[in-house]
Structure 1
Amino acid sequence: MDHEDQSYGAPAEGRDIASVMGFSGFGKKARTFDFNAIFEQTRRTAIERSQRVLEEREMEEGSRKKESVANSASKNVLPSTSTVSESSSSDDELIGPPLPSKTFMQNSASEEDEFIGPPIPRFKDSEDDDDDESNNEDDDNPVQRIPDTHEITLQHGTKTVSALGLDPSGARLVTGGYDYDVKFWDFAGMDASLQAFRSLQPCECHQIKSLQYSITGDVILVVAGNSQAKVLDRDGFQVIECVKGDQYIVDMANTKGHTAMLNGGCWHPKIKEEFLTCSNDGTVRTWDINDEKKHKNVFKPRSMKGKKVIPTCCTYSRDGKLIASGCQDGTIHIWDRNLSVHTKFHCRQAHVPGSDTSCLTFSYDGTLLASRGGDDTLKTWDMRNFKNPINVITGLSTFFPMTDCCFSPDDKMIVTGTSVKKGDGNGKLIFFDRETCQKMYEIEVTNSSVVRCLWHPKLNQIMVGTGNGLAKVYYDPVKSQRGAKLCVVKSKRKEKQAEALTQDYIITPHALPMFREDRQRSTRKQLEKDRLDPVKSHKPEPPVSGPGRGGRVGTHGGTLSSFIVKNIALDKTDDSNPREAILRHAKDAEENPYWVAPAYKRTQPNPVFADEESEDEDADKEPQWKIRKI
């Protein structure tokens, strides 16, 4: 601005305009503030106050026996005087008061007027340090993270639970078994009675081999003992059914689908439309949910001599780039997903030839592969050096071709189950260290084999399928989330009592007034009236057992058919001679006439019956023409 008039606070041109318009001026000049100077003054005042308070507290600490703790805190927290002087001389360094010591923090709540500034973090005591150390020890021990303090039991049936599937959110569980049934369990919708909300047989009379939710959780892959895998939606309705191949074609790569029993299947971990199946026809096929008429790719495992071998299990790697398969001859084949001809890794003597490899699973970091063999072993393999196993665990009995193994969510343990014969002990769920394969923990599940095991990373709960038709869920109220915790707290629903039956209202518009019924306006009032009526609300009497009493007929002989069976059909009297059967009651009727005889006694002639001997004589005296010719 140009030269200003200090008395009016307006320039010369503005003053002339003001005089013309008839007022003295446009007002006083606005005050200006030097914020830098104000900030500098506030900073110095805060530093002086904090230094004064700190000096007083340090003097008090000197009289106590905590000088070492105070000195260590002041060394770690308090800046030196040279730093404070440098900060006062330079605007580029930290602006504000130095952090107080531990003793000042303990008494800062009672003397808030002595210190002005932002909230200061709390320093941990030695007790807090001890607690943190104990917590760190618990965190370092993977066994402490196993959720096994509580369990619930879901009754699937009476036969082996051979398949388990849990959706990614952990809200629904599906179980399948040797009884051909697939049952749906909703943790949020169940109560303490633990009943499945749906049961179906998607593959008719075929045992269920595998169940798995897709990565989005909207569809379920069902692999059974037939040659056609199915995809169901969340409510159990069929989405697609894979096509069946031509069994008369020699080269299985030239047919559109599997031609023999399926052994396993799983979804792609990254692509929600793709899934994988393996079959007894010696192929591993990938499918697209949008094209059910033909497979995408075919992988054919071969033996050392180039002959066909049967894959018993298959899986994807965690990144979805590799496809692994275990075969009946004990080999493990791993292909690149996009190259179906040659294997990328293979091991010819992974397990004993002739034993079905029941499970292959990759670790979460993708560097380790665990294989559960039918030779009662569990082996771990390094993907960077696949020639020999890293560790071998023996003595793990298995009787089922789908016995599982899986990694813990923290990737530090491997879990698998063991099988037992009937009456020969309990099946166990055993936890091994990933690096050393030393047994760290075990859970005795039930007096039957442990077939399937699944450790959900979000819920931190372990699902187990057993050989006696049970599906058990292990959880910890503190370490686990949702899942089984939602249904165990709900009380069982009470069954609704059946309401008293009322007579149906019959509309007769043209009936006479004496026969016409009043039109009902409310069924509730009619129910209340019928309840008060002693005749309508009378409880039906139970059936009488035995011969009967009080004029009531017993259950046996109460109907016409049972009466006939009892009195006629089961009558042991001999009716081979009809004449004797008729004359059996003649003497009694003659001595005690009751119906016809008294009325016709006067006019009734005396009956004369011929003797048997006379009948024979009369037969001999018959004319020649009456005698029958033999």
Structure 2
Amino acid sequence: MATYMESLQKHFQSNGRVRETQGHSAKVHSVAWSCDGKKLASGSFDKTVNVYNLERDRLSKDITFRGHGDSVDQLCWHPSNPEQLVTASGDKTVRIWDIRSSKPVATVNTKGENINICWSPDGSTIAVGNKEDLITFIDAKTHRSRAEEQFKYEINEITWNNDGDLFYLTSGQGTFIILSYPDLKLLHTQCAHPANCICLEFDPSKSYFAVGSADALVSLWDVEEIVCVRTFPRLEWPVRTLSFSHDGKMLASASEDLVIDIAEVETGEKIAEVTLEMPTFTVAWNPKRHLLAFACDDRDRDRDAGTVKIFGLQNDS
């Protein structure tokens, strides 16, 4: 009898295909799903944010948010409210949006050009990082700064753990750093890779987190023990983006390689791969279905400029 993973692998091979939606006039930097999996948002170099409705296995553009004065480099949705999202831009602002309104709920001025952002699991706080490696914690209700943490070395990714009591960062020193939250005390610095640690993602089951590195490896870590349990070695370029599937069984990773690698978490074996024509720096699994959203670099290719794509099963639910 075929295992669950073997069945899924067979389905991807026979039914999995890529569908494209033209959303922007320039490169898409970030894609993310709402918590209910019904909407996808994308942020672009063209300074806009798009929200799409997921209809069966296709996307249709719903709203375009305008107002940022520079590239929208990263965005994320509220962890439990499927109508709110937050964006980080090089225009030195963070903006909170409600999909029921065309104007931002709030515009928060920050001290630098923002490149990464995340929302705490309880929805109370937004953390934003800028190019000067300053992390600012913003109260999601008052829109005022709660705390700041300046680092003397390169910070690449920021995120809370699933319980919201720890704050993780990846560094240019090949480490990830764990801070207590909310007091932001240093608890642990872990050497993880011989090159820059770029991205970090927690799995929904709370068992693991994954780290992507400039050494082209993805490492999988036990949440409780903080030990590396396996690595995923199939990419050949710095790993730029990671995403766990909603059931925690699959991990997607991508980079300048012209494939997205989809691996089984428990064994590290390849389940599927998505063949590309250009590098991919943002991937996101739908939180309810086996649908993977992504966007490709558009350099020298007008055809891919501003395109958002999804890969998955035609009848998956």
Quickly name the TM-score band, shorter chain normalised: 0.7 to 0.9
2:115 matched to which residue of 1? 263
- Give yes or no for contact 1:298–1:340 (8 Å, CA) kept in 2: no
In the aligned structure 1, how far is the partner of 2:264 from the partner of 2:60?
36
1:108 matched to which residue of 2? none
Q: Does 1:381 align with 2:247?
A: no
Which among 459, 470, 495 is matched to residue 289 of structure 2?
459
Q: Does 1:217 align with 2:60?
A: no
Name structure 2 gaps, 5 residues minimum: 299-304
1:334 matched to which residue of 2? 178
Q: How does 1:339-350 map to 2 (within 5 A)?
A: 339-341=183-185, 343-347=186-190, 349-350=191-192
Q: How does 1:147-186 map to 2 (within 5 A)?
A: 149-157=16-24, 159-186=26-53
Q: Does 1:237 align with 2:120?
A: no
SS state at 1:315 partner: strand
1:321 matched to which residue of 2? 165
SS state at 1:238 partner: coil
In the aligned structure 1, how far is the partner of 2:153 from the partner of 2:255?
26
- Give yes or no for contact 1:143–1:440 (8 Å, CA) kept in 2: yes
Change in CA separation of 1:169 and 1:409 when aligned onto 2, cut-off 3 Å: closer
Task: Give the CA deviation at 1:334.
Answer: 1.0
Larger Rg: 1
Name structure 1 gaps, 5 residues minimum: 1-133, 245-258, 302-307, 421-426, 481-630
Task: Give the CA deviation at 1:395.
Answer: 5.4
Letter in 2 for 1:351: H
- Give yes or no for contact 1:182–1:202 (8 Å, CA) kept in 2: no
2:302 matched to which residue of 1? none
Which among 399, 415, 438 is matched to residue 269 of structure 2?
438
Alpha-carbon deviations, 1:104-137, whole Å to 9, x = none? xxxxxxxxxxxxxxxxxxxxxxxxxxxxxx4xx3
SS state at 2:109 partner: coil
Alpha-carbon deviations, 1:287-340, whole Å to 9, x = none? 112222x32233444xxxxxx113111111112221111122222111121231
Change in CA separation of 1:372 and 1:139 when aligned onto 2, cut-off 3 Å: same
2:146 matched to which residue of 1? 296
Q: How does 1:506-521 map to 2 (within 5 A)?
A: none
Which among 54, 60, 65 is matched to residue 187 of structure 1?
54
In the aligned structure 1, how far is the partner of 2:126 from the partner of 2:229?
30
1:367 matched to which residue of 2? 207
1:418 matched to which residue of 2? 255
Which among 193, 204, 209 is matched to residue 351 of structure 1?
193
Which structure 1 residue ranges, 4+ long, deviate > 6 Å from structure 2? none
- Give yes or no for contact 1:279–1:310 (8 Å, CA) kept in 2: no
Task: Give the CA deviation at 1:352.
Answer: 3.7
- Give yes or no for contact 2:119–2:126 (8 Å, CA) kept in 1: yes
Q: Does 1:391 align with 2:239?
A: no
Alpha-carbon deviations, 1:349-396, whole Å to 9, x = none? 32345x3x332111222231201123322111223333x533233452
Give the structure with the higher percent helix.
Answer: 1
Give the structure, 1 or 2, with the largest relative contact order (CA under 8 Å, sep 6 or more).
2
- Give yes or no for contact 1:379–1:392 (8 Å, CA) kept in 2: yes
1:586 matched to which residue of 2? none
Task: Give the CA deviation at 1:264.
Answer: 0.8
In the aligned structure 2, how far is the partner of 1:139 from the partner of 1:367?
19
Task: Give the CA deviation at 1:272.
Answer: 2.3
Letter in 1 for 2:285: W
Change in CA separation of 1:238 and 1:346 when aligned onto 2, cut-off 3 Å: same
Tell me the matched-pair count: 306
Task: Give the CA deviation at 1:448.
Answer: 0.8
- Give yes or no for contact 1:266–1:277 (8 Å, CA) kept in 2: yes
In the aligned structure 2, how far is the partner of 1:179 from the partner of 1:224?
11
Change in CA separation of 1:160 and 1:243 when aligned onto 2, cut-off 3 Å: closer
In the aligned structure 1, how far is the partner of 2:90 from the partner of 2:215?
23
- Give yes or no for contact 2:205–2:247 (8 Å, CA) kept in 1: no
Task: State the TM-score, normalized to the length of structure 2.
Answer: 0.85
Which among 179, 183, 207 is matched to residue 71 of structure 2?
207
In the aligned structure 1, how far is the partner of 2:66 from the partner of 2:3?
45
Letter in 1 for 2:84: V
In the aligned structure 1, how far is the partner of 2:91 from the partner of 2:155?
15
Task: State the TM-score, normalized to the length of structure 1.
Answer: 0.45
Task: Give the CA deviation at 1:145.
Answer: 6.3
